[in-house]
């Protein structure tokens, strides 16, 4: 079993035992080594002391050349069992005495090393000089075995082993007891964790056994469990929500599907009942859809034409190449001259007859492929009607022209006899005023008045007809033009005490005489149809988009709503001649002038409070 896999209790015990073992070993080894070294030193010292005693005792033997005595002295070493060999040399280096006495001379070292003791060949040996005072007498050699040292050494090792064994035993017992304070909380925690992971029950809590780091760990673990529990709850709620959402979304999708089906149905209905032929083709011009109207227009049934090339059926042979080129052009450039607008062209029906058709083509991109939807209408009837209308319109223009010519000629030619009537009636009045009775005078007065009115009428009619003949347009300074008009109207302005004002006005482009008449008529009207107050007239004008918009505002009698459209009709009068004189042509002339300049004229009014006449003129009638 690997150390990492060992249970924590064993691990802790092993660590403690190992550490205490190592500590004990180190201490004992150090102690042993120290003791051993000390003992060796002691042994050397002891040997040295012994040597000193012997050498002191053997001085006389050496001095007086008595080797027997020397032998006797050395023999005393018997008392020291570890001394295996000893000898004395005389001052000439010759072996003098020896111990043990029976040992061969050759066993003793021949050569004397320098003084001192040392370890050599599993023994302690050494030389020591023998002398008296400064006098050298000889040398002592001693050799001791290491029995003593080794005995001591063995003793140390034995004691060390016992000490280590005891400390290991003690460490084992103590660690067995003490490791519980660490391992039990961990094991408890581990068991809790295991139980939780097995059962998946996150409501379980680990029991805290103390406030140390393991206590903190337990707290953190419990905190974690709480968080997991909360997160689980959130997650399950989220899941529930998700399911709910999926259900809702499914419902929505079903609804959408239903809607889609309905709208498809609608589209199909539209497709089926459309007044136009609806034809759908793909990029290869293959017919995809063909509605009932198309069947009627072209005579081909849907099942006959779907899946076939369109141009083989309904496009006249003369236009097929142009059609193909157009499609190709669109597919490469995205542009097409026939797309998204209505064009008129000839189409071919089943009988091979050409007919007028209006066509609009809309390309639509579906799944990366273009489909072209074509709406085709049979416009044969419309074309016919159009032609008729054109002819009628030409006739109308011609008759209108004749009518205007007639009106001009009539009014012009009418002036001459009218002038004659007027002149002679006036002559009659002057000459026979006193000779005729009152009735005759009144009749003559009526006749003069009638001929005068007729003259005005004819003048107005002439003006109206003249409005048709337009002179070349020019730039008009409206401000100056209005000043001139005021001079013309000076008398009536003075009479009515009218106030006429205008702001800054744009220059306009048009027929100077006609525009002048337009303004004069409108201002004249405003002065004429005065109410209870003295007339105040405001003229304004500005450029709006491509037009000039002018307005002439007064505080006159105003116009009833029901008459707002009628006042521009020729000879339409709202009042009799006694109330407000006039021919009923003025506003008709205004309308004609405005229309000649590409504009419109209308009025806004409130009865009794005043009217505002608006008209527009094309900025650039071109």
Partner 1 sequence: MPLFRASLLKCVCGLALLVLDICMATAQTPAVREYQIKAVFLFNFTQFVEWPASSFPTDHSPFVIGIIGKDPFGSYLKEVVSGEKTNGHPIVVEHYANSTEIGLCHILFISVSEEKNLGQIIAKLKGQNVLLVSDSPDFLNQGGMIRFLTKNNRIQLQINLSTAKMTNLMISSKLLKLADTISSPQSQ
95 contributes a contact to partner 1 by CB under 8 A: no
Q: How far is the CB of 61 from partner 1 (least distance, A)?
A: 6
**Contacting partner 1 (CB under 8 A), which of 91, 479, 536, 604?**
91
| Spatial CB neighbours of 590, under 8 Å, sequence gap ≥ 6 | 518, 521, 522, 568, 601, 613, 615
In three-state secondary structure terms, 525 is helix
Whole-number Å distance between alpha carbons of 445 and 451: 10
Q: How far is the CB of 135 from partner 1 (least distance, A)?
A: 7
Q: How far is the CB of 170 from partner 1 (least distance, A)?
A: 60
65 contributes a contact to partner 1 by CB under 8 A: yes
DSSP letter, residue 520: H
- The residue among 69 and 304 lying less far from partner 1, judged by its C-beta, is 69
- The residue among 99 and 330 lying less far from partner 1, judged by its C-beta, is 99
- Tokens 């002065």 — which residue? 527
Q: How would you classify residue 451: left for phi > 0, otherwise alpha for psi between -120 and 50, otherwise beta? A: alpha
160 contributes a contact to partner 1 by CB under 8 A: no
- The residue among 58 and 555 lying less far from partner 1, judged by its C-beta, is 58
94 contributes a contact to partner 1 by CB under 8 A: yes
54 contributes a contact to partner 1 by CB under 8 A: no
Whole-number Å distance between alpha carbons of 270 and 341: 20
135 contributes a contact to partner 1 by CB under 8 A: yes
**Contacting partner 1 (CB under 8 A), which of 2, 4, 64, 472?**
64
Q: How far is the CB of 148 from partner 1 (least distance, A)?
A: 30
Contact 152, 36 (CB under 8 A): yes
61 contributes a contact to partner 1 by CB under 8 A: yes
133 contributes a contact to partner 1 by CB under 8 A: yes
CB atoms within 10 A of CB 437: 8
Whole-number Å distance between alpha carbons of 516 and 512: 6
- The residue among 69 and 80 lying less far from partner 1, judged by its C-beta, is 69
60 contributes a contact to partner 1 by CB under 8 A: yes
Among residues 45, 24, 42, the alpha carbon closest in space to that of 34 is found at 42
Contact 553, 610 (CB under 8 A): yes
- The residue among 95 and 182 lying less far from partner 1, judged by its C-beta, is 95
> Helices in 547-607 by DSSP H: which ranges?
586-596
**Contacting partner 1 (CB under 8 A), which of 8, 16, 25, 63?**
63
Q: Which stretch binds partner 1 (CB under 8 A): 1-9, 33-41, 56-64, 325-333?
A: 56-64
**Contacting partner 1 (CB under 8 A), which of 29, 48, 112, 496?**
112
Whole-number Å distance between alpha carbons of 212 and 182: 10
| Spatial CB neighbours of 91, under 8 Å, sequence gap ≥ 6 | 62, 136, 137, 138
The tokens for 44 are 């050397």
66 contributes a contact to partner 1 by CB under 8 A: yes
Whole-number Å distance between alpha carbons of 481 and 508: 11
Q: Which stretch binds partner 1 (CB under 8 A): 28-36, 88-96, 319-327, 511-519?
A: 88-96
76 contributes a contact to partner 1 by CB under 8 A: no
Residue ranges in contact with partner 1 by CB under 8 A:
57, 59-61, 63-66, 69, 91-94, 112, 132-133, 135-136
């Amino acid at each position: 079993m690997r150390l990492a896999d060992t249970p924590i209790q064993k691990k802790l015990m092993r660590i403690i035992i190992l550490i205490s073992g190592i500590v004990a070993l180190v201490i004992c080894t150090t102690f042993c080594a120290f003791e051993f070294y000390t003992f060796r030193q002691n042994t050397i010292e002891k040997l040295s002391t012994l040597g000193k005693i012997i050498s002191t005792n053997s001085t006389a033997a050496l001095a007086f050349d008595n080797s027997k005595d020397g032998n006797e002295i050395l023999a005393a070493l018997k008392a020291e069992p570890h001394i295996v060999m000893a000898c004395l040399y005389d001052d000439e280096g010759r072996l003098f005495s020896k111990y043990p006495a029976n040992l061969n001379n050759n066993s003793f070292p021949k050569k004397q090393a320098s003084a001192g003791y040392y370890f050599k060949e599993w023994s302690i040996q050494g030389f020591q000089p023998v002398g008296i005072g400064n006098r050298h007498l000889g040398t002592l050699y001693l050799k001791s075995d290491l029995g003593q040292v080794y005995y001591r050494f063995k003793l140390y090792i034995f004691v060390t082993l016992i000490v280590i064994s005891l400390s290991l035993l003690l460490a084992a017992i103590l660690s067995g007891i003490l490791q519980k304070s660490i391992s039990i909380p961990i094991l408890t925690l581990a068991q809790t964790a295991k139980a939780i992971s097995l059962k998946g029950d996150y409501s379980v809590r680990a029991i805290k056994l103390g406030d140390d780091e393991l206590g903190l760990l337990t707290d953190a673990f419990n905190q974690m469990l709480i968080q997991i529990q909360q997160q689980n709850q959130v997650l399950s709620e989220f899941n529930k929500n998700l399911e709910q959402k999926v259900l809702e979304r499914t419902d929505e999708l079903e609804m959408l599907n239903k809607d889609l089906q309905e709208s498809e149905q609608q589209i199909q209905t539209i497709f089926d009942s459309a007044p136009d032929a609806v034809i759908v083709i793909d990029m290869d011009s293959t017919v995809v859809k063909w509605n009932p109207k198309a069947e009627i227009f072209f005579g081909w049934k849907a099942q006959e034409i779907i899946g076939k090339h369109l141009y083989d059926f309904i496009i006249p042979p003369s236009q097929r190449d142009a059609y193909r080129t157009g499609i190709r052009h669109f597919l490469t450039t995205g542009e097409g001259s026939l797309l998204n607008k209505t064009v008129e062209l000839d189409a071919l029906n089943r009988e091979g007859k050409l007919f007028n058709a209006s066509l609009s083509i809309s390309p639509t991109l579906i799944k990366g492929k273009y489909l072209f939807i074509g709406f085709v209408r049979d416009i044969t009837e419309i074309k016919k009607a159009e032609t008729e209308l054109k002819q009628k319109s030409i006739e109308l223009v011609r008759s209108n022209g004749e009518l205007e010519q007639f009106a001009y000629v009539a009014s012009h030619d009418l002036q001459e006899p009218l002038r004659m009537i007027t002149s002679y009636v006036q002559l009659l009045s002057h000459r026979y005023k006193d000779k005729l009775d009152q009735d005759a005078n009144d009749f003559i007065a009526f006749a003069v008045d009638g001929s005068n009115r007729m003259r005005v009428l004819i003048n107005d009619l002439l003006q109206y007809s003249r409005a048709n003949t337009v002179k070349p347009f020019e730039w008009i300074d409206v401000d100056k033009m209005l000043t001139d008009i005021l001079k013309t109207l000076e008398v009536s302005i003075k009479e009515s005490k009218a106030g006429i004002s205008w702001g800054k006005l744009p220059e306009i482009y048009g027929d100077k005489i006609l525009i002048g008449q337009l303004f004069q008529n409108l201002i004249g009207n405003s002065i004429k149809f005065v109410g209870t107050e003295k007339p105040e007239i405001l003229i304004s004008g500005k450029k709006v988009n491509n037009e000039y918009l002018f307005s002439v505002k007064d505080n006159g009698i105003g116009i009833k709503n029901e008459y707002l459209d009628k006042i521009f009709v020729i000879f339409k009068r709202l009042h009799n001649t006694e109330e407000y004189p006039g021919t009923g042509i003025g506003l008709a002339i205004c309308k004609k002038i405005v229309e000649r300049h590409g504009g419109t004229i209308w009025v806004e009014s409130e009865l009794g409070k005043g009217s505002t006449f608006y008209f527009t003129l094309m900025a650039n009638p071109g």
